[in-house]
Chains A and B, each alone.
Chain A
Amino acid sequence: MQTSTSIESHVDEHAQHQAHGGGHHHTETFISKYIFSLDHKTIGKQFLTLGMLWAIVGGGLSVLFRVQLGWPDETFPILERIFSSWFTDGKLNPEAYYSLVTMHGTIMVFFVLTASLSGTFANLLVPLQIGARDMASPLMNALSFWFFVAASIVMFSSLFLSSGAASAGWTIYPPLSALPQASPGSGDGMTFWLIAVVLFVVSTLLGGLNYVSTILNMRTKGMTMFKLPLTVWAILFTAIVGILSFPVLVSCVVLLIFDRGLGTSFYLSNIVIGGKALPFAGGSPILFQHLFWFLGHPEVYIVILPAMGIVSEVLAVQSRKPIFGYQAMIFSLLGITVLSFLVWAHHMFLSGMNPFLGSLFTLFTLLIAIPSAIKVFNWITTLWRGNIRINTPTLFCIGFVSLFISGGLTGIWLGNSTIDIQLHDTYFVVAHFHIVMGVAAFFGMFAGIYHWFPRMYGRMMNETLGFIHFTITFIGAYVIFWPMHFLGMAGVPRRYYTFNEFEAFAQYDDLNKVISIAAIVVFLAQFIFLINYVWSIFKGKKATQNPWKANTLEWDAPMGNLHGNWPGELPEVHRWPYDYSKFADSETDFIPQTVPLTEAEKNEKH
Chain B
Amino acid sequence: MSFILGLLTLVLLYIVIVQISKANELIKTLQSDGKEDEDSYGNSALYLSVLGFVTIIVSIASCFYYAPTLLPTPASEQGEWINNLMIVTLVLTSIVFVITQFALFWFVYRYHYRKDRKAYFYAHNNKLEILWTTIPAAVLTILIVFGIQKWFKIFSPAPKEAIQIEVTGKQYTWMVRYAGRDNTLGKRDFSLVKSDNELGIDWNDKKSHDDFVPDEIVLPVNKPISINIGALDVIHNFFLPHFRLMMSAVPGVPTHLWFRPTITTEEMRKKLNNPKFDYFVACNKLCGSGHYNMQKKVRVVTQEEFDKWFREQKSYYRWIVQPAIEDGSFKLATPASELKQSLHHNTAATHSSTEEKK
Contacts and interface: CB of A to CB of B under 8 A. Distances in A.
Interface string B221-246: 00000000000111101010110111
Contacts, number: 373
B45 A390 contact: yes
B147 interface: yes
A578 B123 contact: yes
Contacts of A464: 20-22, 24-25
A386 B22 contact: no
B123 A491 contact: no
Nearest to B131: A377
Nearest to B34: A541
Nearest to B152: A359
Given A272-B193, A370-B137, A374-B133, A390 B20 contact: no
Nearest to A321: B119
Contact of A380 (B104, B250, B280): B104
B317 interface: no
A60 to B, nearest CB: 14
A165 B38 CA distance: 52
Interface string B88-118: 0110110011001101110110011110011
A175 B86 CA distance: 33
Interface stretch (A188-196, A405-413, A437-445): A405-413
Contacts of A367: 140
Which among B10, B52, B155 has the highest number of chain A CB atoms within 10 Å? B155
A352 to B, nearest CB: 4
B84 to A, nearest CB: 10
A424 interface: yes
B309 interface: no
Contacts of A401: 104
A36 interface: no
A402 B133 contact: no
Interface size class of A (residues with CB under 8 A): 35 or more
Contacts of A383: 104, 107-108, 111
A417 B118 contact: no
A376 B55 contact: no
B119 A326 contact: no
Interface stretch (A145-153, A225-233, A449-457, A482-490): A482-490
Contacts of B144: 362-363, 366, 416
Which among A270, A384, A389, A463 has the highest number of chain B CB atoms within 10 Å? A270
B133 A173 contact: no
Given A377-B132, A491-B71, A418 B292 contact: no
A49 interface: no
Interface string B16-38: 01101110110011000000000
B194 to A, nearest CB: 7
Contacts of A409: 93, 96-97
A168 interface: yes
Given A359-B148, A385-B111, A483 B237 contact: no
B289 A422 contact: no
Contacts of A555: none
Given A275-B195, A285-B252, A369 B129 contact: no
Contact of A486 (B66, B100, B112, B137): B66
Interface stretch (A249-257, A305-313, A581-589): A581-589
Contacts of A160: none
Contacts of A584: 118
B200 interface: yes
A558 interface: no
Given A273-B232, A275-B195, A580-B119, A390 B48 contact: yes
A468 B83 CA distance: 41
Interface string B43-62: 01101100110011011001
Contacts of B232: 271-273
Contacts of A173: 234-235, 285-286
Contacts of B45: 388, 390
A326 B97 contact: no
A143 to B, nearest CB: 35
A453 B161 CA distance: 69
Contacts of A351: 248, 250
A281 to B, nearest CB: 8
Contact of A528 (B3, B14, B250): B14
A390 B113 contact: yes
B89 A284 contact: no
Nearest to B86: A419
B268 to A, nearest CB: 12
Contact of B69 (A175, A376, A394, A508): A508
A44 B10 CA distance: 31
Contacts of A377: 100, 128, 132
Which among A269, A390, A578 has the highest number of chain B CB atoms within 10 Å? A390
Given A271-B251, A275-B194, A524 B107 contact: no
B136 interface: yes
Contacts of A580: 119, 121
A597 to B, nearest CB: 15
A182 interface: yes
B299 to A, nearest CB: 16
B319 interface: no
Contact of A183 (B18, B250, B288, B292): B288
B320 interface: no
Interface string B278-321: 00101111111111110100000000000000000000000000
Interface in A509-535: 511, 524, 527-528, 531-532, 535
Contacts of B137: 370
Contacts of B14: 527-528, 531
B21 A468 contact: yes
Interface stretch (A14-22, A129-137, A214-222, A492-500): A492-500
Contacts of A168: 286
17 contacts: A179-B234, A183-B289, A271-B190, A350-B248, A355-B155, A362-B147, A366-B147, A374-B132, A384-B111, A398-B104, A405-B96, A418-B148, A425-B237, A464-B25, A465-B17, A490-B71, A581-B118
Interface of B: 3, 10, 14, 17-18, 20-22, 24-25, 28-29, 41, 44-45, 47-48, 51-52, 55-56, 58-59, 62-63, 66, 69-71, 78-79, 81-83, 85-86, 89-90, 92-93, 96-97, 100-101, 103-105, 107-108, 111-114, 117-125, 128-129, 132-133, 136-137, 140, 143-144, 146-148, 150-152, 154-155, 170-171, 190-191, 193-195, 200, 232-235, 237, 239, 241-242, 244-248, 250-255, 276, 280, 282-293, 295, 338
Interface of A: 78, 93-95, 97-98, 167-169, 173, 175-176, 179, 182-184, 268-273, 275, 277, 283-286, 319-322, 324-328, 350-352, 355, 358-359, 362-363, 366-367, 369-370, 373-374, 376-378, 380-381, 383-391, 394-395, 398, 401-402, 405-406, 409-410, 412-413, 416-419, 421-422, 424-426, 462-465, 467-468, 471, 474-475, 478, 482-483, 486, 489-491, 493, 495-499, 501-504, 507-508, 511, 524, 527-528, 531-532, 535, 541, 578, 580-582, 584, 589
Given A98-B286, A413-B89, 10 more contacts: A283-B252, A322-B121, A363-B144, A374-B133, A405-B96, A418-B150, A418-B151, A421-B245, A535-B18, A582-B121
* CB-CB nearest 10 A-B residue pairs: A491-B241, A269-B252, A464-B21, A355-B155, A390-B44, A385-B120, A581-B119, A496-B292, A321-B119, A270-B252
